Chain A
Amino acid sequence: MKTCIEVKDLNLFYGAFQALKNVNIDIPEKQITAFIGPSGCGKSTLLRCFNRMNDLIDDCRIEGDIIVEDTNIYGRGTDVNALRKKVGMVFQKPNVFPMSIYDNIAFGPRTHGVRKRRELDEIVADSLKKAGIWDEVKNTLNKSALSLSGGQQQRVCIARALAVQPKILLMDEPTSALDPISTGIIEELCEELKKQYTIVIVTHNMQQATRISDKTAFFLLGEMLEFGETEQVFSRPKNEKCENYITGRFG
């Protein structure tokens, strides 16, 4: 299995507080890797490292290396815009822009210099198809994205992330604000998307991790205590704290 993201001896500090402690993990390509652990364990922080979102936080200091497809993204001269094009992100709450569905999807490609209408039309259609929402919105592309339901908005967000042709999709609790039907649709979508993309998902929903992920990493107080095949982690976890967490005996 080819590694897509390689994390080596990663330490991350918010001021004096150490949020990640000596994390080493190889995220496999074109698989779904789930990050689990209690709130404040560092899983979202690690996710945000993969496209340098933590750069936006004052006092954030990072030691160690993260290699995305053979490039150290914390090396000198890294083009952060190019990195974020390669590593897309979907957040907990759908955050569509207050503009039409079409413009939401075309936003990224336009930023990266795509101007031709026909080319944009293709990208918009292709991205919405990949995100499994094309049939629902193809006749209303000029309507405001805010008019859509939460589940539909989240799929528009996924389509928007896909529009700039990323290799990796980061998802930070992408279904926690959605109803079970929309959650099911997004989970099915992840299964489909992993054929082309590497997906890393942070989730508090253990059943979701077991349903959709190939690998699972368990974090606690900034440390990664277990990483393995999802089936192994949820059936025979090696780490006692991991077992206590997934069986709900934590704390």
Chain B
Amino acid sequence: MARNKFQNEMETLNLDLVYMGALVERAIEDSAKALILQDKELCNKVIASDKEINVLRAEIESKALKIILMQQPVASDLRMISTALKMITDMERIGDQARDICEIVLHLCEEEYQLKLEILSQMGEYAKQMVYGCINSFVKQDIEAAKKVIKTDDAMDELFAKLKRKMVKLIKEKQAYADQAIYFLMVGKYFEKIGDHAENIAEWVIFSKTGEHKDIKII
């Protein structure tokens, strides 16, 4: 095999991406769980893991740029590296939003839930599925799995709209619920944003296979 060094660098980059994906998956899973269980310890774990995710993002970015500089990749290698550079931005944002959710949950841990978690826990479930799905589609380079993630985002958006309507109604009806309703709405918005980032990642996975992004030919 020619270009062993390059091959090794590409494999390392791929492994780093998979590892970062696993950390992000864990962060979103834990934040959804912490919300339901009002688990302060788990919240602090997620908040701490965000730092690791940020460091990893910088490391992967550095490795990807060095490969471009030193190895001048073309064809599928070039698409893979540009996908990596795009993906890490979305993964880092997912990490940030998992942390943001946990910071709100820390407030929510101080009181009992007066509102039903029904929609939020469903949104958390979708967020987990979408993040898992997009990372999995990258690992397996599976376009169909990526498309499924993109489709799930519509359901996520619908849930958020439903949550918003419900929280507005609650605030109007009972002022005492206002604080918690706003916190719920914010958590819901973060889940919805996580869905958007998972969708972005899925779209970049499709690009890495086809050179097309949202049906537009990029390269």
Spot the interface stretch: B71-79, B122-130, B196-204.
B71-79
| Contact in complex: A251, B75 (CB < 8 Å) | no
- CB of B133 closer than 8 Å to a CB of A: no
Interface range for A: 10 to 19
B7 to chain A: which residues have CB within 8 Å?
249
| Contact in complex: B2, A234 (CB < 8 Å) | no
Within 8 A of A (CB), among B127-152: none
- CB of B1 closer than 8 Å to a CB of A: yes
Spot the interface stretch: A16-24, A50-58, A176-184, A235-243.
A235-243
- CB of A210 closer than 8 Å to a CB of B: yes
| Contact in complex: A237, B2 (CB < 8 Å) | no
Within 8 A of B (CB), among A192-251: 206-207, 210, 231, 234-237, 243, 246-251
Least CB separation from B210: chain A residue: A236
| Contact in complex: A247, B74 (CB < 8 Å) | yes
Count the A-B residue pairs with Cβ separation under 8 angstroms: how many?
37
Question: Which of A210, A237, A246, A249 is close to B1, meaning CB atoms less than 8 Å apart?
Answer: A249
In this complex, the member of B1, B3, B75 whose beta carbon has the largest number of chain A beta carbons within 10 angstroms is: B75
The complex places the Cα of A210 from the Cα of B7 at a distance, in Å, of 21
CB distance from B64 to the nearest CB of A (A): 16
- CB of B195 closer than 8 Å to a CB of A: no
CB distance from A213 to the nearest CB of B (A): 14
| Contact in complex: B72, A207 (CB < 8 Å) | yes
Question: Which of A207, A247, A250, A251 is close to B77, meaning CB atoms less than 8 Å apart?
Answer: A247
CB distance from A234 to the nearest CB of B (A): 5
| Contact in complex: B72, A247 (CB < 8 Å) | no
In the complex, 22 of the A-B residue pairs with CB atoms within 8 angstroms, ordered by the A residue number, are A206-B72, A207-B72, A210-B74, A234-B74, A235-B74, A235-B75, A235-B78, A235-B79, A236-B75, A236-B211, A236-B219, A237-B75, A243-B75, A246-B74, A247-B3, A247-B73, A247-B77, A248-B3, A249-B1, A249-B3, A250-B2, A251-B1
